């Protein structure tokens, strides 16, 4: 096959990134935007020896899973890779992505996988928007999204993943800029004032925060804009963030408070969080609660346990666990996140959670070797690259009864779980959860139990689990046939 050749392809599978995969004369092609079941005429844009990439020229026969994307810029924006698939088909794709990782990369023959937990509404789930401001070719002020992998802005004030207030706030800010001739920031020259509009909403409280990120020290007629913003129900906190650096980092370090206390409050379950413009917070709080409740359930706590939460971030999982455990220790590399975790523990009067700043692969081995710390349960929620080998090895030596692995990357999850299983852990359950509808991302919670550690209570628990599986298996099969996977 050669570049620019035109071929007819039926899409039979999807890659881990959601590209359609089909064969032309036995040659495998990856085609962006194609859906399983589509028949397409495609142009080869890159031809390698055994596979290539092609672009859709014409959709000859659309798949029954294909839908018209609800968002008009779904294609160029690149934020949602799967919006042209029905939500059921997206979930089936994610379920298979997790299962395939375990079988192909983790070499598991049987995967105790439960049906993916989807979202009630796969739109309007993001509580945070960072909207770049720019000008179009005609010099008109626009706000929107960077076109996939570039820094040119496509106008879109109302991303369907975000809250409806984003559009109202953005329009207000743009109209104010228009009125007072306030220029947007220009990356090429480093001139202009407004860089991004940051908006956050507490889903449980309805509180709204607006932070204008500016290349300067003040924003003209800010009192007037503040008065207008305060007409939006829920507006709780308004600030400026000063960022005069010429780089791609969105936020600077300095906050100028204009209105409010410097934070909004939100809840995940019954744990309260103060969220400032600079602090990390999960962007989909509803599914975060689902994900972390599953982790808590898998931790099987009775109130007597010592639990470690590695890669704890702002302590969301730690504080969930602290409500049911004797003692929780969290480890996280970012100091500011640990400060938030400590503040959140205080805010919720949870005194049995202690946090350490550092790399999990250094803190855990050190604490184990020097202080002989113990763990009944260890929870990990690492970034995409998974756990360092030193973390896995120390966990194996510590031999907790249960390990709960929360993951945003099924490939590194399957790799790490294989190490734990080879060391004697049993993979009990794998539960995919969808946190990011429209995108190819999937979260997974796994429960591993220590085979060597089998007190009576464990044996009883295991028998209960077997019963649970028998029931769940039937459910899983029903769900699979519903989804056609």
The residue (of 35 and 338) whose beta carbon lies closer to ligand SAH is 338
What lies within 8 Å, CB to CB, of 9 at 6+ separation is 22, 23, 24, 29, 31, 34, 39, 40, 42, 54
Is 291:445 a contact under the CB 8 Å cutoff? Answer: yes
Encode burial over 157-178: b for 16+ CB neighbours within 10 A, e otherwise: bbbbbbbebbbbbbebbbebbe
Binding ligand SAH by CB under 6 A: which of 90, 236, 282, 444? 282
Q: How many CA atoms lie within 13 A of 104 on its CB side?
A: 9
Asked if residue 157 binds ligand SAH (CB under 6 A), the reply is no
Asked if residue 317 binds ligand SAH (CB under 6 A), the reply is yes
The residue (of 71 and 331) whose beta carbon lies closer to ligand SAH is 331
Which residues pair with residue 402 across a beta bridge? Answer: 377, 449
Helix or strand holding residue 89 (H, E): helix 87-100
Contact segment (CB under 6 A) with ligand SAH among 50-58, 126-134, 226-234, 330-338 equals 330-338
Asked if residue 334 binds ligand SAH (CB under 6 A), the reply is yes
Asked if residue 332 binds ligand SAH (CB under 6 A), the reply is yes
Shortest distance, CB of residue 365 to ligand SAH, whole angstroms?
12
- Which residues belong to the active site? 408
Shortest distance, CB of residue 360 to ligand SAH, whole angstroms?
4
Shortest distance, CB of residue 311 to ligand SAH, whole angstroms?
3
Shortest distance, CB of residue 230 to ligand SAH, whole angstroms?
30
Distance between CA atoms of residues 285 and 268, nearest Å: 6
Asked if residue 313 binds ligand SAH (CB under 6 A), the reply is yes
Distance between CA atoms of residues 8 and 61, nearest Å: 11
Asked if residue 272 binds ligand SAH (CB under 6 A), the reply is no
Determine what percent of the chain falls in helix, strand and coil, rounding each to the nearest 5.
Answer: 30, 30, 40
If binding means CB under 6 A, how many residues of this protein chain bind ligand SAH? 18
Ranges within 349-388 binding ligand SAH (CB under 6 A): 359-361, 381-383
Fill in the per-residue mask, 228 to 267: x = in contact with ligand SAH (CB under 6 A), - = not in contact: ----------------------------------------
Tokens of 451: 């085979």
What lies within 8 Å, CB to CB, of 58 at 6+ separation is 40, 41
- What is the contact surface with ligand SAH in residues (CB under 6 A)? 282, 311-314, 316-317, 331-334, 337, 359-361, 381-383
């Amino acid at each position: 096959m050669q570049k620019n050749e035109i071929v007819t392809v039926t899409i039979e599978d999807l890659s881990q990134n959601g590209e359609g995969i089909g064969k032309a004369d036995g040659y495998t092609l990856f085609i962006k935007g194609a859906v399983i079941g589509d028949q397409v005429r495609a142009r080869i844009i890159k031809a390698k020896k055994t596979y290539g990439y092609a672009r859709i020229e014409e959709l000859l026969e659309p798949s029954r899973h294909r839908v018209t994307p609800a968002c008009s810029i779904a294609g160029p924006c690149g934020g949602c890779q799967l919006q042209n698939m029905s939500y059921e088909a997206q979930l089936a794709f994610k379920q298979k992505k997790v299962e395939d990782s375990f079988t192909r990369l983790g070499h598991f023959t049987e995967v105790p996988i439960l049906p993916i937990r989807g979202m009630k509404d796969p739109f309007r789930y993001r509580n945070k928007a960072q909207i770049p401001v720019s000008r179009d070719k005609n010099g008109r002020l626009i706000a929107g999204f960077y076109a996939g992998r570039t820094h040119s802005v496509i106008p879109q004030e109302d991303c369907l993943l975000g809250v409806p207030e984003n559009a109202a706030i953005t329009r207000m800010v743009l109209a104010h800029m228009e009125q007072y001739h306030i220029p947007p920031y220009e990356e090429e020259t480093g001139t202009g004032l407004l860089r991004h509009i940051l908006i956050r909403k507490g889903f449980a409280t309805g509180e709204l925060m607006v932070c204008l990120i500016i290349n300067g020290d003040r924003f003209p007629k800010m009192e007037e804009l503040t008065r207008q913003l305060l007409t939006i129900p829920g507006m709780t906190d308004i600030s400026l963030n000063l960022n005069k650096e010429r780089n791609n980092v969105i936020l600077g370090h300095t906050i100028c408070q204009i209105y409010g206390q410097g934070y909004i409050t939100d809840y995940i379950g019954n744990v309260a969080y103060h969220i400032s413009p600079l602090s990390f917070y999960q962007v989909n709080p509803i599914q975060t609660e689902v994900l972390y409740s599953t982790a808590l359930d898998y931790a099987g706590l009775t109130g007597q346990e010592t639990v470690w939460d590695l890669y704890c971030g702002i302590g969301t999982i730690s504080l969930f666990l602290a409500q049911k455990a004797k003692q929780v220790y969290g480890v996280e590399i970012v100091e500011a996140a640990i400060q938030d975790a400590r503040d959140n523990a205080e805010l919720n009067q949870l005194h049995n959670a202690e946090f350490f700043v550092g790399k999990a692969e250094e803190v855990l081995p050190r604490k184990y070797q020097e202080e002989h710390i113990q763990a009944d349960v260890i929870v990990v929620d690492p970034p995409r690259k998974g756990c360092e080998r030193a973390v896995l090895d120390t966990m194996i030596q510590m031999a907790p009864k249960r390990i709960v692995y929360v993951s945003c990357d099924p490939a590194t999850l399957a790799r790490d779980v294989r190490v734990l299983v080879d060391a004697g852990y049993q993979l009990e359950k794998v539960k995919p959860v969808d946190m990011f509808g429209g995108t190819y991302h999937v979260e997974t919670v796994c429960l591993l139990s220590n085979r060597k550690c089998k007190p009576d209570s464990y044996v009883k628990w295991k028998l209960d689990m077997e019963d649970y599986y028998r029931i769940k298996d039937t459910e899983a099969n029903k769900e699979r046939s519903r989804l056609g996977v």
